[in-house]
Amino acid sequence: MEHISAPMEKNAGQPMFEQLANRIKERVESGALRVGDKLPTERELSEQLRLSRGTVRSAYRQLEEDGVIETIRGSGSYVRAATGVTDRRQKDRAARVLDDAINGLVEMGLSLKEITTLFHACIAAKGMNNVLNLAIIDSNQEAMYDFQSQLSYLTGTALSMFILESVTMSPDPERLLEPFDIIIAPSRHYPRVSALIPRLQDKIIKAAISPGQDSLLEIASLDRRARIGILCRTNDFLTMVKNTLLAYGFPAENIQALFEAEYTTSTYFSGGIDALISFRDAHIFTSEAFSFRNEEFLGKGGKLIQFTCVMEQGSLIYLEDRMNTLIRAKLAE
């Protein structure tokens, strides 16, 4: 094969085995060598090029590692695929792209553990739709939108919300929840959820829930003598907000509450209020009918606060770990 065995010029800046490997790669790229072509034996090529057999052996080994050739014991070495020639260069470029991406994510404040979880989720999402099915069970309807928003970064997941009462009333809670890979239950409901679905115990994650940091900052900025109204859908949400206000030193007699269905554009809290606290998707925030009322309230010095509920960081980390384990298992299938 003249295209391989032509005399080689020594290059002091590059080992001879690399020069030989590059020569063979070039022949494959140009089409002079095609898939399935047999290469000379180590002895034959070393004699033709006047190189040591060790040099030829190292070149062939390099070509095998790059996926350019394959050696069949007792038969010889053959061109594997022309595309393999660029594997190493592609991998080098890919490594640089990943390195830049990782550095960017670290600068955003993500830990390497969080980056690993996101990476596996993104890889899984490329090959499978909704690779993981997650369920959240809570009696606090107002928090559902917050959880959905908080967990939206979990690529490759399908998130379903269940009101605890509906699960309790189901004729077969285990059958209802069996399709889910992970079932998230707030700490206060964990014992009840566990009792409802004992056979799915290994799927349940106990999550610590707390008020969002922005909500706490806004509440902390209020005058402790302020009259505060709470607009809610459930007693769970009302209890969480009220307990938070009491913990910050607001007197109970200055706190009033109304359920969303009872609050219209003509409804007023008894004695008036200085701040109105409600959940993110309450009608006062989403309905155009309340726009003028809200502007009027704010114009008089009132304050509107969206009270959010979030999973605490420790629970999120545990959830990501569980997801990472399940994604690895699914990708290995």
Give the pLDDT confidence of 174-225 residue by residue, as tens digits. 999 999 999 999 999 999 999 999 999 999 999 999 999 999 999 999 999 9
Residue 146 pLDDT greater than 50, yes or no: yes
How sure is the predictor about 9, in pLDDT bands with cuts at 50, 70 and 90? low
* Full-model pTM: 0.62
Q: Which residues contact 223 (CB under 8 A, 6 or more apart)?
A: 274
Query: What's the Cα-to-Cα distance from 316 to each of 8, 24, 112, 153, 313, rounded to whole Å?
Result: 61, 52, 15, 12, 5
- Give ranges for CATH 3.40.50 in the chain: 110-208+314-332, 213-307
- The H-or-E segment that residue 311 falls in is strand 309-311
Tens-digit pLDDT profile for residues 89-122: 566 677 777 888 888 878 877 777 667 766 766 6
Q: Judge whether 132 and 182 are in contact, CB under 8 Å.
A: yes
According to the model, what pLDDT value does residue 85 have?
Answer: 45
Q: Which residues contact 30 (CB under 8 A, 6 or more apart)?
A: none
Residue 228 pLDDT greater than 60, yes or no: yes
> Residue written as tokens 């409802």?
196
Specify the CATH number for 2-85; select among 1.10.10.10, 3.90.79.10, 1.10.340.70, 3.40.50.1000. 1.10.10.10
Q: Judge whether 206 and 185 are in contact, CB under 8 Å.
A: yes
Specify the CATH number for 110-208+314-332; select among 3.30.1600, 3.40.1350, 2.40.10, 3.40.50. 3.40.50
Residue 236 pLDDT greater than 90, yes or no: yes
Q: Judge whether 173 and 198 are in contact, CB under 8 Å.
A: no
Tens-digit pLDDT profile for residues 249-282: 999 999 999 999 999 999 999 989 999 999 999 9
> Distance between CA atoms of 100 and 106, rounded to whole angstroms?
10
Q: What share of the chain is helix, strand, coil (3-state, %, to 5)?
A: 55, 15, 30
> Distance between CA atoms of 250 and 242, rounded to whole angstroms?
9
Tens-digit pLDDT profile for residues 49-75: 888 888 989 999 888 888 888 888 777
| Beta pairing partners, 204 | 183
Residue 148 is encoded by which pair of tokens? 């959905």
Residue closest to 327 by CA, chosen among 106, 152, 102, 116: 116
According to the model, what pLDDT value does residue 217 have?
Answer: 96
- Give ranges for CATH 1.10.10.10 in the chain: 2-85
According to the model, what pLDDT value does residue 200 have?
Answer: 97
CATH for 213-307?
Answer: 3.40.50
DSSP state of 259: E
